[in-house]
Amino acid sequence: MEYFTNFIDAVAAQPVFYLLSLALILSALMVVTLKNIFHCAIFLIITLFCVAGIYILLHAEFLAAVQVLIYVGAVSVLMIFAIMLTSQLTSKKIEQTNEQVTVAGLVSLAFLGSSMCAMLKTRWNIGEVTLPENNIMSLGKLLMTDFVLPFEVVSILLLAALIGAVVLARKESS
Amino acid sequence: MGSYIALAGVLFAIGIFGVLTRRNAIGILMSLELMFNAVNINFVAFNKYIATCNGTLTGQIFAIFVVVVAAAEAVVGLAIVLLIYRNWKGIEVDRINVMKW
């Protein structure tokens, strides 16, 4: 992995970044515009893979692995399960988008313009940053020392989500 | 760093477009995932390029928490979607108008 990221840094960071972002944006557009919701889920998986590639470019190897495991492995499969379970409603003749397409496009373009303006006007404190050598080890140490309280809270949140999902999706047994 | 933030902004805008235009509740959830990913890209890019983050990994820690919360949200959201499907025989959000207030 180390060798791999060093290689990408040395040789091909820019072209890889542009290829990844092109694929990312195109597949994200497919996710929001395609008619068949199952194809949308497939393109969502491609989008999430591209985001994992972006993480590798940013030297966040553990996050890239987490992205592939949790998003591509779990969340997408969950989405596909939900699509399959509601499948007779996802046929092609059902309209998948509502009538506010132009308004929504204007809103998202306005958001994009304003955020780009804000980005260009802010004076970023950019500097030479040396990330810790061993990504996974430092993340684990941080999670067990500085961020141990949020870590525990997040575990309770996951437990609550688990129980909530079971309670919600269970059949009424009266 | 600017290109990473621009990429995240475009991804977030696409997510907003999807949330506003989809009639299918699962489509809305997928667009939400896109927005979460845009935010995560921003966190990791800031951690890599902003000088005050030198030697720390706070941005990546936050990105991990965002991933966890997104997974919990997807689970609960899809459970609600299945419940709605069972009760209304459909998941088009403009047909589901019981929650008037």
Please indicate whether residue A98 or residue B78 has the higher confidence score (pLDDT): B78
> Averaged over B68-81, what is the pLDDT?
90
**Segments in chain A below pLDDT 70:** 1-12, 87-98, 173-174
- Nearest-neighbour CA in chain B from A109: distance (Å): 7
ipTM of the complex: 0.88
Q: Closest to B13 (Cβ–Cβ): which among A95, A108, A130? A: A108
**C-beta atoms of B20 and A70 within 8 A:** no
Residues of A in contact with B44 (CB under 8 A): 54-55, 58, 60, 63
Contact criterion met (CB below 8 Å) for A14 and B4? no
- B18-62: pLDDT as tens digits: 998 888 888 889 999 999 999 999 999 988 888 777 778 888 899
- Look up the pTM and report it: 0.87
**C-beta atoms of A98 and B22 within 8 A:** yes
Q: Closest to B76 (Cβ–Cβ): which among A62, A124, A161? A: A161
Q: What would you measure as the largest C-alpha separation in chain B, in angstroms?
A: 53
Could you tell me if B96 lies within 8 Å of chain A, comparing CB atoms? Answer: no
**C-beta atoms of A78 and B78 within 8 A:** yes
Q: Closest to A116 (Cβ–Cβ): which among B9, B11, B94? A: B9
Could you tell me if B66 lies within 8 Å of chain A, comparing CB atoms? Answer: no
What does the pLDDT read at residue A10?
Answer: 63
- A95-131: pLDDT as tens digits: 666 677 888 889 999 999 998 898 888 888 777 777 7
What does the pLDDT read at residue B101?
Answer: 56
Nearest CA in chain A to B61: A139
Task: Count Cβ atoms within 10 A of the Cβ of residue B73 and give its class: 0-12 exposed, 13-18 middle, 19 or more buried.
Answer: middle
Q: For chains A and B, count residue pairs whose Cβ atoms are closer than 8 Å.
A: 233
Angle at B40 between CA B39 and CA B43, to 5 degrees: 90
Percent with pLDDT over 70 in chain B: 88
Q: Closest to B33 (Cβ–Cβ): which among A21, A44, A127? A: A44
Alpha-helical regions (H) of chain A? 2-11, 13-33, 37-57, 61-66, 76-85, 101-121, 135-144, 148-169
